[in-house]
Amino acid sequence: MIDLTKESPLGVYSQYLKNGQLAYQFCTDDNSVCFYPRAFAPSTGSPNLEWRVSKGLGTVYTTTVVHYKGEAPLNVAMIDVDEGFRMMSRVEDIDPMAVKIGMRVQFKVHPGNEKQAPYPIFTPIGDIK
């Protein structure tokens, strides 16, 4: 169980990721979804935010491929998560050039390492054409 009273919003979010969950916040004052984690709702300024866990499904809103010299290309995408928020991530387990706008994707946690905390990525759902 995550102790929501002793962590910063980023700390709580990170703990959810370590548990394999994609968390977001919900403002109980105006019933709006809030992502990236914060102490106050951006729409109301209210501190009345509760944590919820996403089912982890979404749709690629936009995508691009980044080419670094001497490295394999990588995809960067904005994902519209079904619960009502958009986040920047990557779509993996697919050729970066094959990621398409409108593609359905599923959340997965990249475990990170000693230098980088776990972070969310997405993988395609269903057949890739």
User: Which tokens go with 90?
Assistant: 């990557």
User: Which tokens go with 21?
Assistant: 């969950």
Whether the Cβ atoms of residue 32 and residue 41 lie closer than 8 Å to each other: yes
Distance in angstroms (rounded) separating the CA atoms of residues 45 and 2? 24
Pairing of strands 32-34, 49-53: unpaired
Asked if residue 75 and residue 94 are part of one domain, the reply reads: yes
**Could you report the per-residue pLDDT of 38-49, keeping only the tens digit for each?**
999 988 899 999
Number of domains into which the chain is organized: 2
Q: Provide the residue range defining the domain that includes 93.
A: 57-124
Tell me: pLDDT of 66 over 60.
yes
Is 37 within the bounds of a domain? yes
Q: Would you state the pLDDT for residue 117?
A: 85
Asked if residue 80 and residue 49 are part of one domain, the reply reads: no
Strand ranges in the chain using DSSP code E only, listed in sequence order: 23-27, 32-34, 49-53, 57-66, 74-81, 85-89, 104-110, 119-124
Q: Give the number of other CB atoms < 10 A from CB of residue 97.
A: 10
Asked if residue 68 and residue 108 are part of one domain, the reply reads: yes
**Could you report the per-residue pLDDT of 68-87, keeping only the tens digit for each?**
999 999 999 999 999 999 99
Asked if residue 114 and residue 61 are part of one domain, the reply reads: yes
Asked if residue 61 and residue 119 are part of one domain, the reply reads: yes
Tell me: pLDDT of 5 over 70.
no
Which whole number is the average pLDDT over 5-32? 90
Tell me: pLDDT of 98 over 60.
yes
Asked if residue 81 and residue 22 are part of one domain, the reply reads: no
Higher pLDDT, 114 or 1: 114
